[in-house]
Amino acid sequence: MTAIVLGTRPEIIKMSPVIRECERRHLNYFILHTGQHYSYEMDKVFFEELELPQPRFNLDVGSGTHAEQTGKIMIGVEKVLRKEKPDVVLVQGDTNTVLAGALAAVKLYIKVGHVEAGLRSFDRRMPEEINRLLVDHISDYLFAPTEKAKQNLLREGVDENKIFVTGNTVVDAVYQNLEVAKRKVNVLKDLGLKPRGYFLVTAHRQENVDVKEKLKGILKDLELIFQEFFLPYISNSSENSKKA
């Protein structure tokens, strides 16, 4: 039996192809949601819109410091794993859920598979970088998205027999969920947008948004991108509309 441990919006999206494959093959598995992300907009809506089965377990850990959150998740995951006794635990990415889930599993002598292994920013000020490093070095199966990620792992002394270059599940998620989106939504129409007439930016990493000068640099770059790429397109579209 396989336990899929997830807890945040990106994990739900990136693990959706794995969940679907488990469903397609009728595998014995269950989803354990830690509740690291817990609002409807960051959690439940993705299970609904991506047409995924609901988690069997939800720990509802909520927010807290890194230590508080990681500790709560470890305690909750351990209780579920002791009861269900899966053969392997799958985690994805670099969150506190990933670290806590992997630690709880290895301490119960349950094998761990790390999806998206070997990614590195080489910046240990990032909490996510610490999580990646630790999980990669305690996992039994490391599913690296690229050859470069594999090389990162080899340089750190990870046994090559544990590493599998699989590609990134986010690519599968894009293609699969694009079909779902075409059936269910028309976001451009809903928001009054035109193709190539907008761009979407997310900026949430603390090393970007908590450093004033760096945030100013990001905003300046966005302004340049808008002026160079989008204003000419919008102007051309307006001129063509007038001529028509």
- List active site positions: 204
The residue written with tokens 């079909």 in the block is 179
C-alpha separations of 137 from 95, 134, 152, 163, 206 in Å: 15, 5, 12, 11, 25
Two tokens at 209?
């948004």
- Strand, coil or helix: 204: coil
Please name the amino acid found at residue 170.
V
Cβ atoms 207, 214 nearer than 8 A: yes
Helix 127-138 / helix 96-107 crossing angle, nearest 10 deg: 30
User: For 58, phi and psi rounded to 5 degrees?
Assistant: -140, 120
What is the C-alpha separation between 213 and 145, in angstroms, rounded? 32
